[in-house]
Structure 1
Amino acid sequence: MAKPIIVTWGGVQSTFDHEKLDRAKLYGKRQRQILDPHEQRCERAELSRDGTLLIRSGMTAQGYFDESNAWIPNSKLVGLDADGNPLPHIGSTLGEPQKLEGPVEPGELLDLAVRSVYTLDPNGLDPKLEGELRAGKVFRFVFSYRGGYDTELAYLVCNGGAYFALVGSPAVSEWCELQTTVTDDPGGDDDGDELDFEMF
């Protein structure tokens, strides 16, 4: 079982067991299965470009091939910054107390590109924090499920008596507008070539 989400607010810790929420759990799912002549389920696979390796589902998530076709497992990969310097590795936040920020403006959620939603089961919830959440307040904390080279933001909310963590990154909107505004020029040249609608 995964480690719990632990947050602190006002010097008091609260702990939540969590489960990822997906569309299949909400709506169920159907899956079309391809069977071979012996009624056995077929599995998707593909050949590498040179035809020497059969790649099955899930294999590409375990590592990569470099330019010389050497296999590099994910555990050997290192994150680099824009200058090519190694980035520090960030550990998982699960099981580690994270400081809650807030209450924050609920509008922050509208600017969040949500990647994951977790249902939370309180296992030692601070009564003061519970009261704030049930009153509709929103709190923010840093989140990283497996660890890596970057963290995400998680927002702790309560809806209908149930608790959720919405995880993602702020969505940056780029607004496009005219650099200059077009205005009428009353002092423009008048070449006398105006249309006369009576001639139509």
Structure 2
Amino acid sequence: MPRLCILLLVPVGIWLFWQPDTLRLFLSRRPESIIIHHSASPPRVHGRPVDAAAIDAMHARRGFGIVHEGKVYHIGYHYVVLPDGTVQAGRPEECVGAHARHVNEHSLGICLVGNFHSAENPSGAQGPVRPTPAQMDALIELCARLCRTYRIPVERVCRHRDVGETACPGDRFPFETFQSHLRERVERGGRSIKDLLWQRGE
């Protein structure tokens, strides 16, 4: 008995769009800015380091949380930079952050561990009064990679205080110097994120 075959003609553009990888790329979030924060804390609290895991626990108590590929992330930042220059991943880049009200949807959040505000840490009792050289170099490298990946202009790399009513990341954060060095690093290229990440925060 002859079989009836039905041929469906689908335009190439539509076919490509509905392929899983293409659809995922189309639906993925594309950050338009980067927001810099500080943890407003000493590098260690109660004898334990303040890192991505510690911040995740703190943000869990505040009710932050998002599920991505079966895993729950409470940490509101996408990356954490420790005083020794270690870069730790927070919630995945494709997830909306919880770090800067009103701009979370279109931004990536990076937190430097430390308190760089002179009114709160005037004499260094809470650790370094400004980011360490290793911390700044790691931050610049990370931001340069993100700027290149998402085509974010250097001018859209901001402090939390630039988009909200806060002093974060503190008046001792060297913003002008940071912007100048970031612009140079973006133009000349640099390491990949896999080379930069020392710890995945998993």
Normalised by the shorter chain, which TM-score bucket? under 0.3
> If each structure's helix is expressed as a fraction of its own residues, which one has the higher value?
2
Larger Rg: 1
> If each structure's strand is expressed as a fraction of its own residues, which one has the higher value?
1
TM-score (ref. length: structure 1): 0.25
TM-score (ref. length: structure 2): 0.24
